[in-house]
Amino acid sequence: MNPSINPHTAAPGAARPAKDVYWEKRKGSIYLYAAQAICRKYCPKPLSAIDVGSNMTPTLEWHRASAIRLVSVDLRRPYAAAGVESITSDFFVYDPDVPFDLVTCFQVLEHIPDPTPFARKLLEVGRTCIVSVPFRWKKGRCKGHLHDPVDAEKMLEWFGRKPKYQYVATELNKIKRLIQVY
């Protein structure tokens, strides 16, 4: 599969796409506030950031003040905005020319049939990697989740090393998400 770059990327000042229902439902999530704070602590001013499996979520905007390069990679719906390289591609095919300062991958690994090579590639493409997964969700709770329940032990298996930091964010409705920094 050849990656394709969205034409929005080269147009400074281009209008952002219409708000997306997926993002609208999640933008106030506690785990996203926690993930943003964790990004600021562990990679406060990245010059380059990539979000893998974006599904049109604008989390790259957190890094716009410092980043010279912002990249979104997704199989179907990369985030598209002015100054963002919006790449529709399988992450396994994407081959960056230089490592990124920051790699983020939120709520993706549980959907990947073989998450170990995916997780290891996340570590290869950047200096700091911040990921989140549903934490100990009951098997079958979410149709698209292939690996529930996911916990720290499973993440250790996938990444092949312990994280520098981990945090479990609990939403008001008791849903939990594990955020880890590598």
pLDDT tens string 110-121:
999 999 999 999
Please name the helix (run of DSSP H) or strand (run of DSSP E) that holds residue 74, with its range, or none. strand 69-74
- Structurally, at CATH architecture level, domain 4-181 sits in 3-Layer(aba) Sandwich (3.40)
Q: What is the DSSP string of 37-62?
A: HHHHHHSSS-SEEEEES-TT--GGGG
Q: Is the pLDDT of residue 55 over 50?
A: yes
Higher pLDDT, 154 or 9: 154
Which pair of tokens denotes residue 117? Answer: 């090579």
Closest C-alpha to 131, from 164, 105, 163, 103: 105
Q: Is the pLDDT of residue 44 over 70?
A: yes
pLDDT tens string 74-107:
999 999 999 999 999 999 999 999 999 999 999 9
Entry pTM = 0.86
Give pLDDT, residue 133: 97
pLDDT tens string 2-24:
333 333 333 334 344 445 677 77
Closest C-alpha to 35, from 102, 126, 119: 102
The alpha carbon dihedral of 152, 162, 70, 9 has a sign of: negative
